[in-house]
Amino acid sequence: MKYPEKTSKAFPPAISSGEEYLLENQINGNKADDSVAIINRLQESEENFRALAEACPYGILIYRNEYWVYVNPAGQDITGYSAEELFRMKFWEIVDPEHREIARDRGLRREAGEYVIPSYDLKIRTKNGHARWISLTATTCTFNGKTAGMLIAADITKERERREELWESEQKYRTIINNIEEGYYEIDLAGSLTFFNEPLCRIVGRPAQELHGLNYREYTSEENASRLYSIFREIYETGRPARSIDLGFYRPDGERRHVEISAVLIKNRSGERSGFRGLVQDITDRKQAEEEKAKLEAQLMHAHKMEAVGTLAGGIAHDFNNILQAINGYAQILLMNKKPDDPDYERLIHLEKAGERASGLIQQLLTFSRKVEGEHRPISLNEEIRSVKKLLEKTLPKMINIRLELESGLWSVKADPMHMEQILLNLACNAADAMPDGGRLTIGTKSVVLDEEYCIWHLDATPGQYVLMTVSDTGAGMDAETLKHIFDPFYTTKEAGKGTGLGLASVYGIVKGHGGRILCYSEPGQGAVFRIYLPATHNTMEAVAEKKSAPNAPATGGNECILVVDDEPTVREMATEMLGHFGYRIFGAESGEHAIEVFRDNPEAIDLVILDLNMPGMGGFKCLQELLAIRPEIKVLIASGYATDQHARQALSAGAVSFIGKPYHLREMAQKVRGALDSPDGTAPH
C-alpha cells in the first residue's frame, strides 16, 4: 500500500501547486518576476493557514482516498494519535465500531462531491481505547490540487456526559414523579399547567394532551378558582408555602372528587418568581370514610340519647301511674255512689275521662321506653294494613287518597297486632296533618334481606330477613333540623293543644320493642317516607287466627281477706277503698319486708296478695318468692305499670296467678281479684 508523501512538518506541501504554476509560466515565456511574486503570495497564504490551523482549538483533519493526509495538533489531542500514526490509518478506523459504517459512508459520499448534511455528532475510539464524543462539521477542500474531505472536530465528551447525566436525572425524576400516588403539577404565574405527572391525569380524569397548558380556572368552580387565586397570591407575596388545601371538583364524567393540594413558589436561576408547584392527593375515599364515621357516630349518639330518654320516660310514667291510680280510682268510687241526676255526676265523668286520657299518654310513654312489650305472635302484616285502611277511610279527610302497594307472598312477622295498628294510625294521622289540602298516602310492604355489609354502616341493624313497611305521603315534608328530633318525646311542630309529641315517639318504641328499625326521609315540599324494618319469622306466609277478646265479666265482690303491697300510700288507700266497696277485708303493707311480716302474722287469714313489683328495698319479685316459700298455695296478683315487661313475666313464671296494669279501673280490679280468688288451682287467665 502506498502512503501519501510526507513533509518534515505536519502541514502538507501544498506549495507544489505554485511550482507547477511557475514552470508553466516559464514555458509560455512569461516574466520570471511575476511568477516569483505569485509564489511568494502563495507561500505567505500557506504560512498563514498553517499558523491558523495549528493554533485552532478545534481539530482539523483532512482525508483523501480514505486516508488521513493532514491533522492539526488539536486533532491529535482529540484522537490520541500522532500525525504520523494517523497518516497510516484510514479515516474511519478511529471511529467507534457502532458508528463506523455511517461515518465511512458519509465521508466517501462527501469526497465524491455529493451533498451530505455537514454537522453531526460522532463517537470515536482514542489510541488508548477510550470512547470520546466529537461534534463534526464536514466539508470538501482542495488538497495538492485534488478534492479532499475536511472535518472540523470539537470534543464534546464532557458536555455529552453532562447531558446524559442530566437525561438520566430527568428520567429518574420523571420515573419517581410518575410512580408516586400523588399528582404533581407546575403552573406559571398565570395559572396554566407547564408540567405534571400521570397520576394527576388520573385524579382529574383528563388525558395529558388536554391538561398541558390548561388553566386551573377552566376545571374548577368559580368559588374554587377564587379561593386558589387568593392562596397563590399570598404565596407569591410572602413566599410561604401552603399545605392541605381541601377542594372539591367534578370530573368531566360528572363524578365528584375531593383533593388535598399543597403549593410552593418556583424561582428561576435569576431568583425571579416564575410559578408554583405542588402535590395533589385524592382524598375522596378518606372523605367518604370520615362522612361514614360521622354518620355512625351520629347513629350511636342518637341511640344513646333515645335509650336515655326512654329510661327517663319509663321512670316518669311509673311515678305518674301511681298518681293517676289514686285520681282515677277515687273518681270511679265517687261515681259509683252518684246517680246521673246528681249535679256532680257530669263533673266526675269529665274527671274520669281526663284520667283515662292521661293513662293513654302514660301508655305511649311506656311504649316509647319499651316497658310495654305487648303480645307478640306471628301475624300477616298485609292483613293488618288492609284492616287499618278501612278505619282510615272513615277517619281521614276525603281529599286524601289511600293507596296500598302490598307484596304478595309476604313473609310473616312476630308482632302485637294492636301495636301494628297504633304504628299505622300514628303515621297516617301525621301524614294527614301534613296534607291539609289533600294528597296521597301510600302504604307498602316488601320482603327484604339485610346483609352484613349493610349492617356494618347501620349500627342499629342486624343481618337477617325482614319485612319492610313503607308509609309515604305527598305533604309539606320536613327540614333536616326537624328530622333530628321527630322521635323525641314531646317534640312537636303542631300548634299548642293540637298534639303531645308522643305519636312518633311511641312508634319508635314499638318498632324497637319488636327488634326492628325505623328510618325517615324527608325534604321540605317533597313529602315524607317512613321505612320500618320488622324481623320476619320465616320465608312463607303463616295464616294466623285473630285473637277474640272475651266478653267482660260482671264485677262481683266477696268477703275474703286481701293484702295490698305498694310503696305509695295513696295507691294503698285507694285500693283499700275500692276493694272495700266490694266487701273485701284489707291489710296494707308499704314494702316487701313489711308484707312478709304481715303475712307471717296471718298466714292462713290472707286469701290473696296484690303485689307491686317496683318497690324499694327487697322489691316485689323477691317478696313473691318469700311469700310462696312461706305458703306455696297463696294466690298473688301482680300490679305493674308495665304489666308485660320482663319482670312481670318472670313473676308469673315464678308462681303469680295473674297481673293487672296500672292505673287500674275499678271494674277491672274487681274482675281480676274475683278471677284470681276463684281459680281452683292457683292460676287465672292472664
Same domain, yes or no: 208 and 149: no
Task: Establish if 51 belongs to a structural domain.
Answer: yes
Same domain, yes or no: 356 and 328: yes
* pLDDT per residue as tens digits for the range 51-109: 888 888 899 999 888 899 999 999 999 999 999 999 999 888 999 998 888 888 888 88
Report pLDDT for 478.
84
CATH of the domain at 568: 3.40.50.2300
Strand order in the sheet with 400-405: 400-405, 439-450, 464-473, 528-535, 517-522
20 has a pLDDT exceeding 50: no
Task: Establish if 10 belongs to a structural domain.
Answer: no
Task: Establish if 231 belongs to a structural domain.
Answer: yes
Task: Establish if 684 belongs to a structural domain.
Answer: no
The average pLDDT across 182-193 equals: 90
Do the Cβ atoms of 668 and 659 come closer than 8 Å? Answer: no
Strand partners, 464: 450
- DSSP secondary structure of 312-345: HHHHHHHHHHHHHHHHHHHHHHHHHT--TTSTTH
The average pLDDT across 259-283 equals: 90
Do the Cβ atoms of 384 and 420 come closer than 8 Å? Answer: yes
In degrees and rounded to multiples of 5, residue 334 shows phi and psi of: -65, -40
500 has a pLDDT exceeding 50: no
Report pLDDT for 357.
63
Same domain, yes or no: 275 and 400: no
Structure confidence at residue 208 as a pLDDT band (50, 70, 90)? confident
**Max avg pLDDT among 177-186, 355-364, 542-551:** 177-186
Same domain, yes or no: 504 and 593: no
Do the Cβ atoms of 280 and 244 come closer than 8 Å? Answer: no
Q: What angle do CA 388, 394, 396 make, to 5 degrees?
A: 85
Report pLDDT for 649.
63
452 has a pLDDT exceeding 70: yes
Same domain, yes or no: 409 and 341: no
Pairwise CA distance, residues 568 & 232, whole Å: 75
Task: Establish if 3 belongs to a structural domain.
Answer: no
- Other CB atoms within a 10 A radius of the CB of residue 142 amount to 11
| Listed residues 248, 282, 316: the one ending a domain | 282
| Listed residues 282, 297, 318: the one ending a domain | 282
Report pLDDT for 73.
93
| Listed residues 501, 535, 569: the one ending a domain | 535
Cα–Cα distances (Å) from 674 to 458, 682, 684, in that order, read: 50, 12, 10
Task: Establish if 554 belongs to a structural domain.
Answer: no
Task: Please classify residue 606 by burial: count the beta carbons closer than 10 Å to its beta carbon, then call 0-12 exposed, 13-18 middle and 19+ buried.
Answer: buried
Same domain, yes or no: 359 and 385: no
Same domain, yes or no: 265 and 294: no
In degrees and rounded to multiples of 5, residue 661 shows phi and psi of: -85, 145
Same domain, yes or no: 118 and 225: no
Same domain, yes or no: 131 and 249: no
pTM above 0.75, yes or no: no
Task: Establish if 544 belongs to a structural domain.
Answer: no
CATH of the domain at 530: 3.30.565.10
Average pLDDT, the chain: 78
Same domain, yes or no: 232 and 86: no
Task: Establish if 1 belongs to a structural domain.
Answer: no
Same domain, yes or no: 25 and 49: yes
Same domain, yes or no: 397 and 481: yes
CATH of the domain at 251: 3.30.450.20
DSSP 212: T
Determine the structural domain holding residue 298 and report its residue range.
288-368
460 has a pLDDT exceeding 90: no
- The total of structural domains in the chain comes to 5
